[in-house]
Amino acid sequence: MEGADNLISVGRIARPHGIRGEVKVTPLTDWPEKYEEFRSVYLELEDKNGEWVDIEKARIQGSRVILKLSGIDDRTHAETIRGYNLKVREETCSALPDGSYRISHLIGLGVNTTSGEQLGTIVDVMRMPSQDVYIIDAGGKEILIPAVKKFIKQVDVQNKVMIIEPIEGLLE
């Protein structure tokens, strides 16, 4: 498995777990049980080149995933990959239900209001307990839009645009 084409982020290594090289992962997916199906992940830190690593074992523990990665056999080595992003090829992931989107598909979408006003571009998605929140860069100003149907009227990944209907005070 060479290269890093067509990859999506599925988690971030939070910290080592135990003394045998396991790591605790903060999943970036609504289905952390998918980790039990992944055979390998691409480890990447910031914009540096990463590498493919086989998964020896995966299990769910609360809101986190515990992974044992091939070649990481002690806590000291596990500490060196703290903060790394975990990615998989998009085709290894299940199809999403209608109305659901991968974060990687939302980043970069232009955001317009139903009246045609261009607000800016989605630069990040905050994962919150009740719902996600889209972070929009509006020319240096940050706008936070809750990912709820009341505000989000259309998501067109193909044309890279999201249409929202803001209520009073939402854009201030």
Give 135's strand partners: 124, 144
- Look up the CATH number of the domain holding residue 46: 2.40.30.60
Whether 137 maps to a domain, the answer reads: yes
In the predicted structure, residue 123 carries a pLDDT above the cut 60:
yes
Encode pLDDT of 139-165 as tens digits.
888 989 988 888 899 999 889 999 998
Alpha-carbon span 73 to 18, nearest angstrom: 11
Q: What residue numbers bound the domain in which 150 lies?
A: 103-164
Q: What's the gap between Cα 104 and its chain centre?
A: 7
Task: Report the chain's mean pLDDT, rounded to a whole number.
Answer: 86
Residue that terminates a domain, selected from 62, 92, 122: 92
- β-sheet with 133-138: strand ranges across: 141-146, 133-138, 118-126, 110-113, 161-164, 152-156
Indicate the pLDDT class of residue 169, thresholds 50, 70 and 90.
low
Could you tell me which residue, 114 or 129, shows the higher pLDDT? 114
What sign does the dihedral 114-118-121-124 (CA atoms) show?
A: negative
The string of pLDDT tens digits covering residues 80-102 is: 999 999 988 877 776 677 777 87
Q: How many independent structural domains does the chain possess?
A: 2
Domain shared by 131 and 54, yes or no: no
Q: 92: helix, coil or strand?
A: helix
Q: What gap in Å lies between CA 33 and CA 29, rounded to an integer?
A: 9
Is residue 72 within 8 Å of residue 78, measured between CB atoms?
yes
Query: Which of the listed residues 92, 126, 150 is the one where a domain comes to its end?
Result: 92
d(CA 91, CA 121): 26
- Whether 65 is in a domain gets the answer yes
